[in-house]
Structure 1
Amino acid sequence: MQQQHENNKVWLFDESELLTRHTTVVHSPDAYLQAPKTIGDPTYGGDGDDLYLGGAIREGGALELHSREAIGLLAQYAAVGVVYGCLPALVYPVYVKYMNFAGYEAASYSVLITICWSFKVFLGMLSDCFPIGGYKRRPYMLIGWAVCLACMCLMAFVPFPDPYLGRGLGLSAAASSKVRGGDLSNLTADQKRLVNVDAASEANYWILLSSLGSFGYMLADVAADAMVVEYAHREPIHIRGRLQSAIYAVRYAFSMLPLLVVGICMNGPEYDGSFTWSISPNVVFALLIAPCALAIWATLFLIVEDRGVKPHVRSYLWNLWSLLRLRVMWQICAFRFFSNFFYKFDSTATPIIPSLWANVQPLTKSLFAVANALLTSVAIYICGRYGLNWNWRITIALATIGVMTIDGTILMLTTWNVVREDLPAGIRFIVSGYCAVEIADIGNEGVVFGLVTTIVNLATPFSTVCYKLISSYLTLSPKDLAADTYDVRLQVTYSYAIAYGFKLASFAFLPLLPPQKAAVQKLKRTGGSSTVAAFAVLLVFSVALTFSIVTNLMALFPQTSCYRIAGGNGLPRVKNNVTICG
């Protein structure tokens, strides 16, 4: 009886004993330097060791792309592609044409709907550390898509403001450009009543809800990214990155759908288009309800996730700090931030030139954007199908040079300025995903992938603030561009010369990027660590994030939008004989 009683006991064990030899989780800052039994270490195993030969990081086998789990993940990224493709696409027809935003205001809208991506690292940490009901990923997908769905409903069912140029004005292209520049002197009293001079100031409701909706689908995307890293760890090194390439090819492919809708259906008189009909922005927001609902359904019925053990937050943070101290982490973060900071330099004339100089209609711009998204999707597919073992440095350099050459030709000949950043940006993004998979440990997939991608997301608004500050010293306002003088065109040329110079300067940081997956593993194992570098990463991250948020919010409000730090020209702004800024 005593023996039987002892057999019925419940024995407790240390959760750390569950870790297999595949893990690289550490419990001291220098564990990577002291422990020889890590992936890729020459002392790890012999010729028959799967990991030594470049096997998977964790067990389970590579995910079949036609399986239920894969289809569920692909549905998440298809929905992200639709929403993420639509909201930025509205900047030209809705905010530049319909609402008559100035260049700096349009740039700030673009930043506000993407600034939430700078918080991916925190939401990745939330997903890693605080499972809901025992699940780390699925609940956050549901919450994120529910928030996005609610925002789309609120924007769909509240009437959108009247356009800046109402129907019935019957102005020529030249006359419309002058009116958009603020010159109403040639209009009759009846025509002036059709001009909604307050249109730009009435858009804040939709801008803020678009930002909140972006936060929602970004939360779902963060959870999905962490799950993708887990699946990628199960792939052998020679095909690792296949799943990532598939999901991002799907994301870019589905981003073409809203571009077609925006280009064809928002090409009426209110948008300076050639069609006699068009749809309201409310209809577009209503259409975005569908992908949100589809993503929620896929999360409930297709996504497969096992219950996990809630990690100890203190140990999790210590392991994260240990990882942040490693050279592989801060070196790749430095590459991602500085390279993309220089590469993302642009001119505030970019969204205005097609409208005032080339009179490009939304349909034309959207069709070129569709072609660009298709090209990017195909390029990522090719990377996943044939280029998983290409040299990352050479791939990024060739993609950037090729697109800059094409873009420069188009810009100078037609000023359409639509094939600009997406192709090399897509290549850079997928390479960062490959790096994150190699760096991430078991248990911190969300925060590591979030950190590596957050760095570049943060560089974009920070770069936007800087190029808006530079452009504010040039004559690039809508009124100046509407005048279309030789001096103004010379100023625009200067602004693009500066932007292209910064893009070329981004090549200086390519040596910081390891050339391939095996090089990342080796750098992780032998690269050493630095507490100073880790603190520097945290400091730069905090300062840049705060600076970007504050300055871009300033551009939205009349009382602060004239300041150079917000992208204004630094001159006082007067409305109805009252100084409202400066």
Structure 2
Amino acid sequence: MDHQQRRLSMGMMNSHDAEYLDLANHSAPAYGHLTLEHSHSMGMPHGHYMDDNDEQYDMSGQIVSPKNNAKPSLYKTELCKRFSEYGSCRYGAKCQFAHGMPELRHVLRHPKYKTTKCKSYWGSGHCPYGSRCRFIHEEENVSRGPMYKSNGLSPRNEISPTSQGDMAFLNAQYSSDLPASTGLMSSYSSDLSMLHPQTSPTWLGSEVASTPTFMRSPSDQTFAPKTSPIGPPKKSPSMSNVLDSSVEYNGLQDAIGVLLKFSQTMPDTDNTSPVGVSSPKVGLPPPVPSSSLKSPLKRDLSLQGDELWKDFAAVSISGSGDAADSSDWFLGKSSPSESTFGTSDLREDSSRLKISFLNMTLVVFDYDWSLINDNSDTFIFQQLEPELLKHLKQLTTTGVQWTDAVDQTLSQLTSTTRQELIDTIARVPVQEGMTNIILKLIVVGMLRAVKNAHAAGAEIIIVSDANTVFIESFLELHGLKDIIKNVYTNPGEFEGNILRVRPFHPKVALPHGCPKCPVNMCKGSILKTILAAKDYSKVVYIGDGGGDFCPASQLTSNDYVLAREGFELSKRLAANPCAVNICLWNTGEDIANLFEKYQQNSFNLRNVYGEYKDGALRPPRGSVSIFAWENFGMVIHMAAIGTTYTTISGVIYSVLNNYLHMSATLVATATALVAFPRSLRLFTGMLTDTIPIFGYRRRPYMLLGWFVTFVSCLLMTLLPLGEPYYSDQSIAKIDPDKLTAQQRATIDYDAPQRGVKLIVLMMLANLGSVIATSGFNGVLVDLSQREPVSIRGKAMGETSVILNFFAIISSFFTGLGLNTPDYGGTFSWTITFNGIMGFCAGMALLTLPFTWFCIQEDRIESKHSMSVFCFVYELLQLRMIYRYVAFKFFYNVCALFSVTASNAIQSTWAKVEPFNNGLAGMLASLVAMVGAYWIKKYGLGWNWRYIIIVAQILVVFIDVFPTMLTTWDVVRSQWFWLGVPLLEKLPAAATDLVGSLFILEFNTMGFEATLFGLSATSQRVATPFATMLTKTVDGYLDIERPFIQKDDNHARLHVTIAYVIAYGVNLLGIIFVFLLPPQKEEFHQLQKKGDKNKTWGIVTLCGLVFAILWSLMTNILSLFASTKCLRIAGGSGCKRNKSIRHAMTCLV
């Protein structure tokens, strides 16, 4: 991304503000790197570089306003607000403001440079910017120096002499023309004597002059002789014909532009000879066609690339080995051997012309936990006086800002000398490979560029919340002091033997105006100032902490952030996707290998959210197969889930509906309440992510969850179930109105009430499995994101297959074990409900050791500094997330909308026996297993939308036949009722799996269970909500059990109406499918855009909370006799026997 695009993306719309940014009355180093797009603001002739029709110029090359033919100083220096907002402007080309970045003019330096005293230096005696400060220090000359002049150059627009670092723009603009220095940019002469009237070459104003002195090294080595006598070239126009003494030139670029113009007027004759050491005449270059300069330079300004380091070996100064073929008229060399460094002539082939420094990469290192493998502040106290570390932590808990707390604690190190403190700093653990990275970057980059006349590599800076003493001592010890260009950190200095640390920014509330950063330092504003002052093709930011999020979030899609895995920066970037490319690392060797491989062009670093080898989102760690021994606990967990959850759900029909004969409403409510804990997976996921137990976040919660399930199932094993509702099952099919008094005496009317405590225990057992599953989800997401992109989702598909396989066993077990007449079957023997629950308790107990010894999990050393509630709040503001939550909720509300009388129809009209019901459930699980395997094997790359749409249509189409034929007594067979809908399970299983693949693509780094829980909660909360809507709608229809038992046309008509409404709502859910992205590629495109909407995020959060509370309330109301008559609870309405006021009282 070029400099202008980066400035626009960072909000620096005003060119003056951009060139004169202020950090606490300071600015970053003033680099005057001017691109060709900047040149017109300095009055440079554009005939060589841009189309003549782009702008209008006067004789001096200054831009002339097309509106009034004037030369206003602010012309085209501000963006046109109307054009930016509406894409058009009434003034068109005559507008005084810039229409887009290509028209925007920039100035070299603010006119108030070095005219105001530095507040920090004069107030405290110290300035963190030193000689690079834009304000006046005590030892500096207050007066402003003259402008660059050459005869006609006027002092009207003079600016101060450019510092050593500011001469870099010469190399940036004219790297093909000027010699390379033996050092960094600071090696250039700072006095610019060759441009001052008294020392400028005389050939600028006459036909006889001496060769100019262009640059000098720090040792005053001269690249060209100062006083080589030369004579006038033959038949060449004098410079006085080109330079008009009456015309004012606005800067150095004007002067050089005129020189180029002059060089093009020189005839290409054989009489001109190259300059030699003893040559009496200067050899001027032949004319250069403007086309040879215009197109290549404009083409090479395109810096958009996919590489981190673009063309490491040769970037800017082309042709170091071929420069001997050119006329080195700037250097005055007679042979290649005399040229220490290769140079490039303006006449070189256009394909070899490049702009220096525009291709330079800026590498930004954080210090603590990045460059070093510790916190330098706490390390000092750990080594010298551990008791002071406790004092430091106590200060921070009382609200003292961290830097101030460190300063106060350091002041108590009275027994430690300065040298002891520095020696302790030397022992700080270094990230393995980090120092090699910096040396490698410099050797490959800067030094190689200087020696081989290729500008390639990177500038390296450190931006840290440590202090200058710690960092400078570290750099000096490891030989990196001369390699790091700048260090931006809190100033530290010794007062005797006491080290004092002051904040980088002044002590005022939010001095940098950034709420994301600590008060003492905003790294984002520092980076913004650096990027405003100098042009970089790419920025590579290496960090770990929450303070690195602000600068990282400001970078563009052309830049890279290397975030340490598991640390706060990676988690915040995952929760707040940015345009920048993100890579994850664990040790310094990871980054060293990354750069080394990239330099060798052995892989393409096109990472989106930490994309690793083969498209994995996380670095490899062990096997990614769930059947490997280190992951086998995942298999046992899913087997236990398939057994316990399916068993508990399966006994609802045989025990609650048949044995205890609970009402249809209560049975539907029990189904919803047993499934309700799955609506809490968001909160259990938060629990596992934020509160580790003994340093682990997954395995302890899996143990805890299975222990709760074990206790609940054990209680249901030991508690007696009591007598059934019908002691004589022969009267169960008789109309209740036709029963005799003797028959009614055999009925246990208290049996339905005993089902309430079973519902509670079942719900607790399911809650335990949910807690265990939340820990499991974190493990599953971690493992899945280590899978290659081509098979990502395979582990999830395999767990779904295992779940359905053991659900088959559970269905077969409950179907055979609960098939006596009391449970609605025909067998003469039974395992009893207590025996079934004993089986579930044993399975939960068996799972405990496997979940601890056969699960991969790393111990974490620190907690999240970001609140999980803030994470969820910020997460829900992402467009891709709130759309996904809306899809999961509304689609499942529509898809799960059904009929409350389905169980009554199944037992009364279809006469389904428990054994056959269990057999059908077993077959349903088998079909679902096939569907999950099918998607895992073939459908991971299919369009997600098409799969769900086709599946939903098939489900409705298949279900309508057995339902309608059974309702109107055309075909009433239990196998017809159970068999045909089995085909529904195939598309339904595919829909469930595809809806979960979305989560595997979102890298949350530390909040895996929370995100997975958000997805599960969005789906599961729809189940009781859909049940509530179903009961509300069906409450207006006569489809309760007594009406079903009458089996008349009235009941059949109402059942038909109920199913037609249900099918219509099911198909309505298709419209919400388009909230999903079609596939992984589109997902990552949305993720990189990072679109947010705070309003929709709040609406989504409120909607989820409301759905959870409403579904819980309505299901609880249906448990009690005084409130179950309410329509929202599924009743027929309380107005038949109670007043409306009393009904509202019941609701409250």
Give the TM-score normalised by the residue count of structure 2.
0.47
- Distance in 2, matches of 1:367 and 1:214, equals 23
AA aligned to 1:222 is S
1:400 Cα deviation after fit: 2.1
Asked if the contact 1:245–1:380 (Cα under 8 Å) also holds between the matched residues in 2, the reply is yes
- Distance in 2, matches of 1:573 and 1:83, equals 42
AA aligned to 1:137 is R
Q: What per-residue deviation string (whole Å, max 9, x for no partner) do you get for residues 488-542 of structure 1?
A: 0111011011101100111111111111122211112225110001101111011
User: 1:228 is matched with which residue?
Assistant: 780
Asked if the contact 1:91–1:110 (Cα under 8 Å) also holds between the matched residues in 2, the reply is yes
1:6 Cα deviation after fit: 5.1
Compared CA separation, residues 573 and 357, structure 1 to 2 (3 A)? farther
User: 1:19 is matched with which residue?
Assistant: 563
Question: Which of 439, 442, 448 is equivalent to 2:1005?
Answer: 442
- Distance in 1, matches of 2:670 and 2:733, equals 22
Asked if the contact 1:329–1:439 (Cα under 8 Å) also holds between the matched residues in 2, the reply is no
Asked if the contact 2:817–2:836 (Cα under 8 Å) also holds between the matched residues in 1, the reply is no
Match status 1:536 vs 2:1099? yes
1:550 Cα deviation after fit: 0.7
AA aligned to 2:901 is A
Superposed CA RMSD in Å reads 2.8
DSSP 3-state at the match of 2:682: helix
Compared CA separation, residues 29 and 383, structure 1 to 2 (3 A)? closer
User: 1:164 is matched with which residue?
Assistant: 725
- Distance in 2, matches of 1:438 and 1:495, equals 39
- Distance in 2, matches of 1:94 and 1:84, equals 15
Q: Which has the higher helix share?
A: 1
AA aligned to 2:904 is I
User: 2:644 is matched with which residue?
Assistant: 83
1:251-266 paired onto structure 2 within 5 Å: 251-266=803-818
User: 2:615 is matched with which residue?
Assistant: 55
- Distance in 1, matches of 2:951 and 2:631, equals 29
User: 2:671 is matched with which residue?
Assistant: 110
Asked if the contact 2:894–2:1065 (Cα under 8 Å) also holds between the matched residues in 1, the reply is yes
Match status 1:565 vs 2:1128? yes
Q: What per-residue deviation string (whole Å, max 9, x for no partner) do you get for residues 86-129 of structure 1?
A: 11111211111111122211110001111111111111111111
Match status 1:506 vs 2:1072? no
- Distance in 1, matches of 2:755 and 2:868, equals 42
Give percent identity, aligned residues only: 30
User: 1:42 is matched with which residue?
Assistant: none
- Distance in 1, matches of 2:807 and 2:784, equals 24
User: 1:136 is matched with which residue?
Assistant: 697
AA aligned to 1:123 is T
User: 2:658 is matched with which residue?
Assistant: 97
AA aligned to 1:216 is G
Asked if the contact 1:130–1:310 (Cα under 8 Å) also holds between the matched residues in 2, the reply is no
Compared CA separation, residues 360 and 119, structure 1 to 2 (3 A)? same
- Distance in 1, matches of 2:712 and 2:870, equals 37
AA aligned to 1:32 is P
Asked if the contact 1:339–1:509 (Cα under 8 Å) also holds between the matched residues in 2, the reply is yes
AA aligned to 1:94 is V
Compared CA separation, residues 310 and 282, structure 1 to 2 (3 A)? same
Compared CA separation, residues 422 and 308, structure 1 to 2 (3 A)? farther
AA aligned to 2:700 is P
Asked if the contact 1:30–1:529 (Cα under 8 Å) also holds between the matched residues in 2, the reply is no
Query: What 5-or-longer segments of structure 1 have no aligned partner?
Result: 40-44
AA aligned to 2:940 is L
Asked if the contact 1:26–1:32 (Cα under 8 Å) also holds between the matched residues in 2, the reply is no
Q: What is the count of residue pairs matched by the alignment?
A: 564
Match status 1:477 vs 2:1029? no
1:538-557 paired onto structure 2 within 5 Å: 538-557=1101-1120
DSSP 3-state at the match of 1:113: helix
Greater mean deviation of Cα atoms: 235-244 or 296-305: 296-305
Question: Which of 887, 902, 912 is equivalent to 1:335?
Answer: 887
DSSP 3-state at the match of 1:238: helix
- Distance in 1, matches of 2:1093 and 2:575, equals 10
Q: What per-residue deviation string (whole Å, max 9, x for no partner) do you get for residues 146-176 of structure 1?
A: 000000011110100211111xx262xxx52
Match status 1:176 vs 2:736? no
Compared CA separation, residues 307 and 100, structure 1 to 2 (3 A)? same
Asked if the contact 1:27–1:315 (Cα under 8 Å) also holds between the matched residues in 2, the reply is no
Match status 1:321 vs 2:882? no
Asked if the contact 1:438–1:517 (Cα under 8 Å) also holds between the matched residues in 2, the reply is yes
User: 2:740 is matched with which residue?
Assistant: 187
Question: Which of 943, 948, 953 is equivalent to 1:401?
Answer: 953
- Distance in 1, matches of 2:794 and 2:885, equals 23
Asked if the contact 1:104–1:348 (Cα under 8 Å) also holds between the matched residues in 2, the reply is yes
Asked if the contact 1:476–1:488 (Cα under 8 Å) also holds between the matched residues in 2, the reply is yes
1:290 Cα deviation after fit: 1.8
Compared CA separation, residues 558 and 422, structure 1 to 2 (3 A)? farther
- Distance in 2, matches of 1:281 and 1:93, equals 9
- Distance in 1, matches of 2:825 and 2:616, equals 53
DSSP 3-state at the match of 2:1017: helix
Asked if the contact 2:706–2:847 (Cα under 8 Å) also holds between the matched residues in 1, the reply is yes
- Distance in 2, matches of 1:429 and 1:285, equals 28
- Distance in 2, matches of 1:122 and 1:268, equals 41
Question: Which of 453, 464, 469 is equivalent to 2:1016?
Answer: 453
- Distance in 2, matches of 1:216 and 1:491, equals 40
Compared CA separation, residues 347 and 118, structure 1 to 2 (3 A)? same
DSSP 3-state at the match of 2:655: helix
Give the TM-score normalised by the residue count of structure 1.
0.90
- Distance in 2, matches of 1:294 and 1:69, equals 17
1:440 Cα deviation after fit: 3.6
1:27 Cα deviation after fit: 4.3
1:209 Cα deviation after fit: 0.7
Asked if the contact 1:249–1:381 (Cα under 8 Å) also holds between the matched residues in 2, the reply is yes
* Structure with larger RCO (C-alpha < 8 A, sep 6+): 1
- Distance in 2, matches of 1:503 and 1:170, equals 37
1:477 Cα deviation after fit: 1.2
Asked if the contact 2:583–2:607 (Cα under 8 Å) also holds between the matched residues in 1, the reply is no
User: 2:630 is matched with which residue?
Assistant: 69
- Distance in 2, matches of 1:29 and 1:386, equals 29
1:361 Cα deviation after fit: 0.5
1:316 Cα deviation after fit: 4.8
AA aligned to 2:1075 is L
Q: What per-residue deviation string (whole Å, max 9, x for no partner) do you get for residues 405-464 of structure 1?
A: 222222233465543764444323222321111124111101001101110101111011
Compared CA separation, residues 323 and 373, structure 1 to 2 (3 A)? same
Compared CA separation, residues 522 and 138, structure 1 to 2 (3 A)? same
Compared CA separation, residues 554 and 425, structure 1 to 2 (3 A)? farther
Q: What per-residue deviation string (whole Å, max 9, x for no partner) do you get for residues 351-405 of structure 1?
A: 1101111211011111111111110011101111111111111111222222322
1:32 Cα deviation after fit: 3.0
Compared CA separation, residues 427 and 214, structure 1 to 2 (3 A)? same
- Distance in 2, matches of 1:134 and 1:552, equals 38
1:229-248 paired onto structure 2 within 5 Å: 229-248=781-800
- Distance in 1, matches of 2:651 and 2:688, equals 31
DSSP 3-state at the match of 1:19: strand
Match status 1:496 vs 2:1059? yes
Asked if the contact 2:574–2:1002 (Cα under 8 Å) also holds between the matched residues in 1, the reply is no
Match status 1:468 vs 2:1028? no
Compared CA separation, residues 471 and 21, structure 1 to 2 (3 A)? same
Query: What 5-or-longer segments of structure 2 have no aligned partner?
Result: 1-418, 431-464, 467-542, 549-561, 585-597, 967-971
AA aligned to 2:833 is P
- Distance in 1, matches of 2:1136 and 2:745, equals 23
DSSP 3-state at the match of 1:559: coil
Compared CA separation, residues 536 and 354, structure 1 to 2 (3 A)? same
- Distance in 2, matches of 1:198 and 1:71, equals 46
- Distance in 1, matches of 2:831 and 2:745, equals 22
